[in-house]
Structure 1
Amino acid sequence: MSDLEDISRHFHEKLWSLQQILDLSVVELPQNKMKRLGQELCGLEGLLEELERCVDEQKQQLKNLKEVRDVYQQALQDVQHMKNNMPPHIPRKKTVVNGNEAGKDSVDSQPAPVENLKKSSRNVIKEMGFITTPEFEGIPQYMKGRVSYEQLNAAVSSLNAAATAKYKIFHQSVKGLSNHARKLHQRFKDQETKETKGQFFVVEEDIREFTQMKVDKRFQGILNMLRHCQRLRELRGGGLTRYLFL
């Protein structure tokens, strides 16, 4: 900007000088004065070209700045959209409990006894993995129907909630359960078979018991998609359909 101002100032000085010479043109000028007038005009022409070049550079810089501004504003809108539409199934940062990250032992904690480790591993409840965008796009359209990506993963979340609630009761001692929970515990045991040993599964009764998800025709379509994505498989027997988590 200072270069453009310097050229403009110099340009105006030259114009003033030429104006002075032209004011004296009413009288006959000596040869050396006429020669100087020609030099001033040539210099002024050069200044005009330099001024035009600077103006063009400033216009290009302004255009570049506007493009950068547009890119920044678009990026800001995209980030805001991502923030406002964050899928609920994306893993969140672990909460901190008593200064330690949840799920991690404190520095001075003692190693857990082997018995406790075995018990903890037995009580770990397997959850179904959420569907990724490429997986969803790979599902045939006739199978997806009107189910959106978000709705499919919401169903995954509900199935995981049903499994968590079921096995939380299943892994507890019957003595500490309420009457209703004891009935559920017995039902869970009755539904176990040799094929389901060590597996995690839910049935339609579990979904009705522990979630708000409707078990209807649309639900059957969602199950087809989850089977297609290898998230579960069906095991039938005893008049019951078990949905095993893979």
Structure 2
Amino acid sequence: MSHCELEEVTRSINDKISLIKKLLDLRAVANDADKRGFLLKIEQDVNAINGLLDRFEKCVTQQRDLLKHLKELDEFFQEDVQDAHHLKENIPQHMPCKGQQAAQRGQAEGHCRQADAQVEPQEQPPPRKPPRSHIKEMEFITVEEFDTIPQYMKGRLTYDQLNVAVRSINTAVMAKYRILQQPTKSLSNTARKLHQRFKEQETKETKGQFFVVEEDLRELAQLKLDKRFVGMLNMLRHCQRLKELRGGGLTRYMLL
């Protein structure tokens, strides 16, 4: 046995001897009637302390469980924060208008009604003309619609680039029809000439519709009508945003 082990055994024996002496002293005190009352009071206090320790241990356990629950909630919250940051950093530059989905549903219902009308013909009320103050704008392309465009038509063109073209066409349409809706007397000489040109470009097919020609796109929206933009027009036709009407040496891009 080593020296350290011998000291440890000696210390343990001495502690037990000391404890036995204290127990013998307490036993002698317990036989004294005067001191017995103090011992009972000490016992009550010790029991009370033990009760407090039990309550304290229970509270510590509850707080530990609560802390674990809060950590789990914090992890969920951090995931929500990351999702929110991801959404914020990836908001599409061109969101569909508020009524676009309703319009698409209405269009589908219209096709159903048209099919029913072919089975059972009946008089249809004449289509309403848009209010004079209303100028129709082309709806932005949705991601789902963009995915339906064949790859050979898209090439390297992105979703955002196509919607930039939609915005530019809308700029030309708004500028054109704001001039057409104003009285000619209130227009400047330049605007009056544009007004006359716009009127001359109208046909029976475009009556009550909104359209632009290449010259409008160049002058009113500063667009470069190159091969790339022509490809965008083809994609917009594919998505049923516009159609072409040719005649009189002009190609009219009419909004649908």
* TM superposition score category, shorter chain reference: 0.5 to 0.7
> 1:84-113 CA distances to partner (integer Å, 9 max, x unpaired)?
x45255559xxxxxxxxxxxxxxxxxxxxx
- 2:212 is equivalent to residue 212 of structure 1: no
1:80 aligns with 88
Q: Which of 67, 70, 73 matches 2:78?
A: 70
CA distance, structure 2, for counterparts of residue 22 and residue 86 of structure 1? 79
Aligned to 1:155: 165
| Corresponding residue for residue 108 of structure 2 | none
Query: Do the aligned residues in 2 keep the contact of 1:200 with 1:245 (CA within 8 Å)?
Result: yes
Structure 2 counterpart of 1:191, from 201, 226, 229: 201
1:67 positional shift: 2.7
* 1:129-150 deviation digits (Å, cap 9, x = unpaired): 1111211111112211222211
SS at match of 1:123: coil
Query: Among residues 221, 230, 235, which one is paired with 2:245 in the alignment?
Result: 235
Change (3 A) 1:175 1:66: closer
Shift in Å, 1:184: 1.0
* Structure with the bigger percentage of helix: 2
TM-superposed CA distance for 1:201, in Å, is: 0.4
Distance 2:140 2:201 in 1: 26
* Cα gap change, 1:119 to 1:179, in 2 (>3 Å): farther
Match of 2:234 among 190, 214, 224: 224
Give per-residue Cα distances to partners, 1:13-46, cap 9 Å, x unaligned: xxxxx9x97574799x99xxxxxxxxxxxxxxxx
Deviations 1:192-240 (A, max 9, x none): 1111111110001001111132211111111111101100000111111
Kept in 1: contact 2:96–2:142 (CA 8 A): no
Q: Is the 8 A contact 1:162 1:206 kept in 2?
A: yes
- Quick check: 1:178 aligned with 2:188? yes
User: Match of 1:136?
Assistant: 146
Matched, 1:124 2:130: no
1:64 partner SS: helix
Instruction: Give the counterpart letter for 1:123 in structure 2.
Output: S
- Partner residue of 1:9? none
Kindly provide the amino acid, as one letter, of the partner of residue 178 in structure 1: S
Could you say what secondary structure the match of 2:85 adopts? Answer: helix
Paired AA for residue 127 in structure 1: E
Instruction: Summarize the Cα distance change of 1:79–1:22 in structure 2 as closer, same or farther, 3 Å threshold.
Output: farther
Q: Secondary structure at the match of 1:244?
A: strand
Compare CA radii of gyration and give the structure with the larger one. Answer: 2
Cα distance in 2 for residues equivalent to 1:200 and 1:167: 8
Letter of the 1:87 partner, please give it: Q
Would the aligned equivalents of 2:97 and 2:139 in 1 still touch at CA under 8 Å? no
1:243 deviates by 0.3
Assess, with a 3 A threshold, how the Cα gap between structure 1 residues 76 and 119 changes in structure 2: closer, same or farther: closer
C-alpha change, 1:195 and 1:76, in structure 2 (3 Å) is closer
Give the deviation of 1:173 after TM superposition. 2.1
Specify the alignment match of 2:176 in structure 1.
Answer: 166
Q: How many residues align?
A: 188
Decide whether the 8 Å contact of 1:234 with 1:242 is kept in 2. yes
List alignment gaps of at least 5 residues for structure 2: 1-11, 25-57, 99-127
Instruction: Indicate the RMSD between aligned Cα atoms, in angstroms.
Output: 3.9
